[in-house]
Amino acid sequence: MSGHSKWVTIHRQKQVNDVKRGAVFTKLARAITMAVKQGRGLQLALAKAKQFNMPKDNIQRAIDRRDELHEVMFEGFGPGGVAVMVAAVTDNKLRTAAAVWGLLKKGTVAYLFSADRTANFEVRVEDAAARAKIEAVLAKLEELDDVQKVWTNYA
């Protein structure tokens, strides 16, 4: 038996799965919107949305939103002086900026990366505590809904 009610158990499990699905749908919707806005990559974005069983009305809303989203790039330094570049797609630049700058220190790091966003040199950190801090900040950046890609010179 499952405690008090089987319905409650099913409800909790469904709620957890719905939150995960919603996060995936949000990322896919942003990818579709940006593909429409840029004029390339739409077929790939639609195929990925269908792969995750995204409803057609969600896809249509994402296509219709093309003027509401903005691409933004942030660059700064993480713990231990590691250079970090963040690409994000957002409907509210200030909210995204506040979330990113809460994790990074402002600074110019674009010159540390080549045109294809590979690091010109890598930073190696020997201290285990510093490595843990760096990896925690990178994980938090990846978890943000608006963030699409994170580049770093951390090795």
- For the chain, give the mean pLDDT: 90
Same-domain status, 90 and 144? yes
Q: Global pTM?
A: 0.71
The pLDDT-based confidence of 2 (bands split at 50, 70, 90) is low
pLDDT digits (tens, 9 = 90+) for 52-98: 999 999 999 999 987 888 889 999 999 888 999 999 988 899 999 99
Using CA atoms, how far apart are residues 35 and 32, in angstroms rounded to an integer?
5
**Is residue 27 situated within a structural domain?**
yes
**Is residue 147 situated within a structural domain?**
yes
The pLDDT-based confidence of 116 (bands split at 50, 70, 90) is confident
CATH number at residue 14: 1.10.10.200
Same-domain status, 76 and 142? yes
- What is the pLDDT, as a whole number, of residue 60? 94
Domain boundary among 64, 94, 109: 64
State how many domains the chain has: 2
Same-domain status, 81 and 53? no
Judge contact between 87 and 70, C-beta under 8 A: no
**Is residue 1 situated within a structural domain?**
no
Same-domain status, 75 and 141? yes
pLDDT digits (tens, 9 = 90+) for 6-34: 888 888 899 988 999 998 999 899 889 98
**Is residue 113 situated within a structural domain?**
yes
CATH number at residue 120: 3.30.70.980
Same-domain status, 47 and 97? no
Rounded to the nearest 5 percent, the helix, strand and coil shares of the chain are 55, 20, 30
Judge contact between 135 and 129, C-beta under 8 A: no
Structure tokens at 131: 């490595």
φ/ψ region of 25 (left if φ > 0, alpha if ψ in -120 to 50, else beta) reads alpha
- Spatial CB neighbours of 106, under 8 Å, sequence gap ≥ 6: 76, 77
Triad 129, 142, 151: Cα angle to 5°: 80
Share of the chain above pLDDT 70, in %: 98
- What is the pLDDT, as a whole number, of residue 80? 86
Domain boundary among 32, 49, 64: 64
Range of the domain at 118: 70-152
- What is the pLDDT, as a whole number, of residue 3? 61
- What is the pLDDT, as a whole number, of residue 85? 95
